[in-house]
Every structure is written in structure tokens, then in C-alpha cells.
Amino acid sequence: MLMQYLICAIAVFAYMSIFWGISQKLNKVAIIDIAWGFGFSLVTVISILLNFPPNGIVWIISIPVFVWSLRLGTYVLIRSKGKPEDWRYESIKSKWKNPRISSFFGVFMFQGVLMLFIAYPIIINNLLKPKTIGFLAYIGIIIWIIGFLFESLADYQLRKFLKTRKPGQIMKKGLWKYSRHPNYFGEVLIWLGIALIGFSSSEDVIVFGAPILLAFLLLFVSGVPLIEKKYKDNKEFQNYKKKTSMFIPWPPKK
């Protein structure tokens, strides 16, 4: 098992190195977001090949991951096409003394390590190749569907809004009326569902580290804090913030 996991790690290292090379040519670190989405499909394929041929139960976790991974990767690719460097990475790059080394280790390799940890439920499920699944797997599938619909719809609503919004205007409709970050809420549900499926086949509690780590990163590190800091001087956002739940969808305050 350790050797097979190491092979997955080597593949992720090579994959992230390729994207880092592309980022240097384009002078655009933000392509890491594209690499992140598609990368989980790569890990899934490799883990399947390492214990080939897969049985039917392997696809119960692999197909949802493929669907989520390809949707997210394609969405970010379309969103970023023809646009300059993302404002988040512009802020980070301004603090680097050696941009090449800092971007390689601090962005691409770091996110590669995170990917391997978050993908643990997928890898262990596909390497064990379980013959049966338990009740928790069905609960996980339901949670994954809810999370996927939340994230997809929230992204669609935001993209549609951004095409017509006026300067300083804040998205407050649809799912965004009930949560300031419904796409992040959906993503955490997706990985909670995947962890439940993985636990059903492996009974390894480490699989729950995936949604916990992802929630921590989104809520306290790279997601919510950066976005809300960006709008700290926006009066409309501050009023929106007072009335609207940060994460878990909830009826807005009156």
C-alpha cells in the first residue's frame, strides 16, 4: 500500500511540475487552480491502474470524483481564459524574493501535498477495491449529490452575475442570499460525501481528514479570509455580511 501511495505522490509531483513550467512561461501562477481541479482525476486514474481491473464498487467513488474534478477544472479554465493574473496571487507574488522557487515550492508543490492528503479516501478505496459497501456509502452518495448541486449552481449564478454587474455591486441572489460562500459549502459537502464512501470500504478514520482539512483551508486560510478582506471597504458587502450567514446556508437576518 505504501509503495502504491508513493507512486501516486510521484505522479502528482510530475503533474504539478509540468503546470509550474507552464505558469513560468505564461507568468501566471493562477493556473494552479486549473491544475487543482483536474489533478484529482489524475490521482483517481492512477489509483485505479495500480489495482487494475477495477470492480463495480470502485466506480462508486471514482465516478463522482471524475464528475466533480472535470467540472471544476473546466469551470476555472473558462473563467480564467484571457484574463490577467488573479488578484490573490498578485498579492502573494509581491512578497516573494525569488518568484520561481517560491511559486514552485510554496504554491505548486504545497498544493500537490494537499491534493494527496485530500485524495486519500479515493486512493485507499481504489487500492483496497472493496467487494461490498455499507450504509454509510449511500449516505455519502446523497451528501455528495447535494454538495455537487450546491457548488455547481453557486458557480453558475456567480458567473452569470459577473457578466452584468456594476462596479462595487455584490452578488446577493440565489444561493448567495443564504450564504456568503455557498460554493465553498458545497465543496466541503462533496468531500464529506467522498470521505463517507471511503470510510465505508476501509473503516479508516483518516479519510475524514480530507473534508476537515478542506474546510479549515477554505474558512481560515485561502478562501473566505482573502475574499472578505478584499471587500472590507465595500459598504454594500458589509451590510450583506451583517445579514447573511458566512458558510452554512440560512435565511438572512431582517
The pLDDT value given to residue 58: 87
pLDDT interval class at 142 (50, 70, 90): very high
Flag whether pLDDT at 139 surpasses 90: yes
pTM here is 0.92
Indicate the range of 33-37, 67-71, 160-164 predicted with least confidence: 160-164
How many CB atoms within 10 Å of residue 41? 18
Residue ranges per structural domain of the chain: 1-131, 132-254
Flag whether pLDDT at 141 surpasses 90: yes
The pLDDT value given to residue 53: 87
The pLDDT value given to residue 25: 93
The pLDDT value given to residue 106: 92
Axis crossing angle, helix 2-26 with helix 110-118, rounded to the nearest 10: 140
Flag whether pLDDT at 130 surpasses 90: no
Query: Tens digit of pLDDT for each residue in 8-28?
Result: 999 999 999 999 999 999 989
Task: Kindly state the cell numbers that stand for 147.
Answer: 454538495
